[in-house]
Chain A
């Protein structure tokens, strides 16, 4: 195993941030830590970086024990949310900084800096100071700086959260592309499920200092381990006492609307409460047997005004068993 974490525990003033977290990460993988704020994902990343000292942990990297190695010795690249470029240095000096610290041969540094700038498409910005760049450009420089020293692992702490939505999406694709090209093992912390699903090979869903589930995006969406994961990645309808299951879930887009033809045996009748047009889909909230159910239909639907009676079907193959998970 390339990076192996065992039993990582951390408390801050008696509050548990991480509660015995264990995880294995393969070489060249892109892993996302996903969870609500306060779930411990950033703390876990900082412990991997060496910036935070765990209360208990066994961290191994390529077979070596990493636990007591300080951050400056780990050669892990890191990119923070924002404002981490040294304001007193030019873009080029920022990128060269880590190379100087790691004692690269002096004559190799300019070439490496130029190559990194070309990699993030900022070759013409080398002599600018950080405050002269846009937020997106700054984060690309931060990325170039983190990658310049050929880090063993790239750590990204919500690197896109401070950016505008449009820039964020562009940069998201760029990060994924860069990672795939360089093949560098990457861990990114995010609270944005779309971001995680777009870039990650595997997603680690965290909640209250524990890992809820680890898996490919498609696994997490189609086979969530519990209600928390199901609710955090996409939307979920929780249906009780149906088909004998104590608890089952179904994604809003998997519920079928039964048109026209007379009611069939597996149909249920509901009354529309709300109908919201969201562009590519229309979201309908209805009450069925006293329970609220959400379904999503393709395109625009003008025929589902509040109060309309409609028939729906919950296909057997779309129902997911859900453990109760944390309340």
Chain B
């Protein structure tokens, strides 16, 4: 038994080194989350209570008694509610057509529906103005006087903008289904309408609720479209910008930020609570659906899906075309003159955006994958805390986060003040703005790696960090790449969070688009948008080519294996 003493001492030492590794990883994840999410939020909350007479509710009292402010809140909610209703109904029909009918070109239609994700948010508004604006092709050609500016303009632009988000959620909900339920209903004599009402709708209710809240959050926090097409119709997101950037009224911006934070946060919390029960809906004993072609239904579905795709593609296409003509819609001669970019810094912001987006991709991958791995090894309660912190940004509108960054980092007392005005803070802001989505991709793919690998690796003598480096990270490598692409694309097109953080030296492409549009230079705004979309398209093309290449190499390996194995 004398040997027990050194053995125990050695054991304790090594046990600690593994625990230390997990603790260090968790700290490396949690500290930045606190610094770059929690601290800016607290800064906004605090400022909203600061008045000339000390701490109090005076700012809120003043805003909520102002008829103008009440009007803006009402505007925001009417736009958000109307858009949500329209988008979810349209997207449900579209997802149904693609998932539950045998119509042709389902993959193509699905790809077209995602187009708005890869364009700066205000491109939708820009395209609609080229079509229906005062100097749009419709009004000019038919000498009409359609007034699209204001409520309906914002609603239409935001329907396009939020459509892909709703479509993705509803498509996932409609993709799974239990064939046994439909077969039982058919044997009991139910018709298609009754089956839809009693089986399809109830089984996709989580998806519908989720889509409603996601679209509502996106729309009420959207900034680009109301700026371009809203005219005098003010909403909360544009009002923050006007108060802060226009009039330097930080504390009023903070109050509006908090007001905007509440519905967004409530929507996210409800969405998470409701979708928690979703996983049990389909059991492993369910039989997958088989879609039987039905001529009439498939034809109707195809017509509907084509119309939706046509509308989505038209809005993007018209921006594309307008950027290449002399003066839309008066002189349709081809010209490259809009690509001269006589705006502050010219084309430089495009390259700045690329640099910032690459930084965001790198930082975003490290941050979210590290968080997902830390959550794997933490105790359940600690992992839940990490989950909360990681998905918290989903509830924070970009405008609010951006304002929080000014308050927190443009402050001499902050040791990180040196970050302010750098490209790094723009990248970091984008990472934490989209942290929740990146984290969910990471944690899903890390969660799919069987625990048996960890245990095997441990028994073979590996420490936690070696297991991570040699086993887990290589297995989730494809997901890591797609997380990087996600952060790159979001950073290229986002406007809301970074609008407060750019300086003349760190101007971003999406901001240039807004400035060009603001100065009445819609054609150049279109040209700049096209440049952004081309870079996004190039990044996505590169990613898919890479994915195909690795898939093919994998197939060749297994093919060789099968050949020599036989």
Residues of A participating in the B interface, judged by any CB pair closer than 8 Å? 49-51, 63-65, 68-78, 80, 83-84, 86-88, 97-98, 101-102, 124-125, 128-129, 131-134, 145-146, 149, 155
Min CB–CB distance B9 → chain A (angstroms): 10
Contact B4 A51 (CB under 8 A): no
Contact A64-B459, Cβ < 8 Å, known A88-B474, A128-B561, A132-B565: no
Give the distance in Å from the alpha carbon of A75 to the alpha carbon of B460 in the complex: 7
Which chain B residues in 441-472 approach chain A with CB under 8 Å? 450, 452-453, 455-463, 466, 470-471
Contact A97 B4 (CB under 8 A): no
Contact B450 A73 (CB under 8 A): no
Contact B462 A72 (CB under 8 A): yes
Contacts of B471 in A (CB 8 A): 86, 88
Contacts of B11 in A (CB 8 A): 68-70, 73
Min CB–CB distance B552 → chain A (angstroms): 15
Q: Which residue of B lies closest to A76 (CB)?
A: B459
Contacts of B461 in A (CB 8 A): 72-73, 75, 98, 101-102, 149
Give the distance in Å from the alpha carbon of A79 to the alpha carbon of B561 in the complex: 24
Out of A63, A88, A124, A155, which one reaches B3, CB within 8 Å?
A: A63
Interface membership of chain B positions 538-566, coded 1 if the CB is closer than 8 angstroms to chain A and 0 otherwise: 00000000000000000001100110110
Contact A64 B460 (CB under 8 A): no
The verdict on B1 contacting chain A, using a C-beta distance below 8 Å, is yes
Contact A69 B474 (CB under 8 A): no
Contacts of B557 in A (CB 8 A): 129, 132
Min CB–CB distance A50 → chain B (angstroms): 8
Interface membership of chain B positions 13-41, coded 1 if the CB is closer than 8 angstroms to chain A and 0 otherwise: 01100100000000000000000000000
Contact B562 A87 (CB under 8 A): no
Contacts of A76 in B (CB 8 A): 459
Min CB–CB distance B444 → chain A (angstroms): 18
Contact A64 B4 (CB under 8 A): yes
Out of B452, B477, B562, which one reaches A83, CB within 8 Å?
A: B452
Contact A88 B8 (CB under 8 A): no
Contact A72 B7 (CB under 8 A): no
Give the distance in Å from the alpha carbon of A70 to the alpha carbon of B11 in the complex: 6
Contacts of A78 in B (CB 8 A): 455-456, 459
Contact A129-B455, Cβ < 8 Å, known A63-B3, A68-B11: no
Give the distance in Å from the alpha carbon of A71 to the alpha carbon of B464 in the complex: 12
Give the distance in Å from the alpha carbon of A70 to the alpha carbon of B466 in the complex: 16
Contact A97 B460 (CB under 8 A): yes
Contact A101-B462, Cβ < 8 Å, known A64-B3, A65-B8, A70-B11: yes
Contact A88-B4, Cβ < 8 Å, known A51-B458, A76-B459, A101-B461: no
Contact B459 A51 (CB under 8 A): yes
Min CB–CB distance A84 → chain B (angstroms): 5
Contact A65 B561 (CB under 8 A): no
Min CB–CB distance B462 → chain A (angstroms): 5
Contact A101-B460, Cβ < 8 Å, known A63-B3, A70-B15, A88-B471: yes
Contact A83 B558 (CB under 8 A): no
The size class of the interface chain B forms with chain A is 35 or more
Contact A132-B558, Cβ < 8 Å, known A64-B3, A65-B1, A97-B460: yes
Apart from A78-B455, A102-B460, what 18 extra A-B contacts exist at CB < 8 Å? A49-B455, A50-B458, A51-B455, A64-B7, A65-B7, A68-B8, A69-B7, A72-B461, A72-B462, A87-B475, A88-B471, A97-B462, A97-B470, A124-B564, A125-B565, A129-B558, A129-B561, A146-B459
Q: Which residue of A lies closest to B8 (CB)?
A: A68
Min CB–CB distance B481 → chain A (angstroms): 14
A and B contact pairs by CB, cutoff 8 A, 26 listed: A49-B455, A64-B4, A65-B8, A68-B11, A68-B15, A71-B459, A72-B459, A72-B461, A72-B462, A73-B11, A73-B14, A73-B461, A77-B459, A78-B455, A83-B452, A84-B450, A84-B456, A86-B453, A86-B456, A86-B471, A88-B477, A97-B460, A101-B461, A101-B462, A102-B461, A128-B565
The verdict on B504 contacting chain A, using a C-beta distance below 8 Å, is no
Q: Which residue of B lies closest to A131 (CB)?
A: B558
Residues of B participating in the A interface, judged by any CB pair closer than 8 Å? 1, 3-4, 7-8, 10-12, 14-15, 18, 450, 452-453, 455-463, 466, 470-471, 474-475, 477, 557-558, 561-562, 564-565
Give the distance in Å from the alpha carbon of A129 to the alpha carbon of B457 in the complex: 17
Contacts of B1 in A (CB 8 A): 63-65
Contacts of B452 in A (CB 8 A): 80, 83-84
Out of A65, A132, A134, A145, which one reaches B460, CB within 8 Å?
A: A145
Give the distance in Å from the alpha carbon of A80 to the alpha carbon of B8 in the complex: 27
Contacts of B10 in A (CB 8 A): 69, 73
Contacts of A84 in B (CB 8 A): 450, 452-453, 456
Contacts of A124 in B (CB 8 A): 564
Min CB–CB distance B33 → chain A (angstroms): 29
Q: Which residue of B lies closest to A70 (CB)?
A: B15
Contacts of A63 in B (CB 8 A): 1, 3
Give the distance in Å from the alpha carbon of A129 to the alpha carbon of B466 in the complex: 20
Contact A132 B459 (CB under 8 A): no
Contact A72 B12 (CB under 8 A): no
Give the distance in Å from the alpha carbon of A65 to the alpha carbon of B7 in the complex: 8
Contacts of B565 in A (CB 8 A): 125, 128, 132-134
Give the distance in Å from the alpha carbon of A87 to the alpha carbon of B456 in the complex: 13
Q: Which residue of B lies closest to A134 (CB)?
A: B565
Give the distance in Å from the alpha carbon of A65 to the alpha carbon of B10 in the complex: 12
Contacts of A83 in B (CB 8 A): 450, 452
Give the distance in Å from the alpha carbon of A208 to the alpha carbon of B452 in the complex: 25
Contacts of B453 in A (CB 8 A): 84, 86
Q: Which residue of B lies closest to A137 (CB)?
A: B565
Q: Which residue of A lies closest to B459 (CB)?
A: A78
Give the distance in Å from the alpha carbon of A39 to the alpha carbon of B480 in the complex: 41
Contacts of B474 in A (CB 8 A): 88
Give the distance in Å from the alpha carbon of A78 to the alpha carbon of B462 in the complex: 14
Contact B15 A88 (CB under 8 A): no
Give the distance in Å from the alpha carbon of A107 to the alpha carbon of B310 in the complex: 65
Most chain B CB within a 10 A radius of its CB, from A51, A72, A145, A155:
A72
Contacts of B466 in A (CB 8 A): 101
Give the distance in Å from the alpha carbon of A136 to the alpha carbon of B561 in the complex: 16
Most chain A CB within a 10 A radius of its CB, from B8, B14, B458:
B458
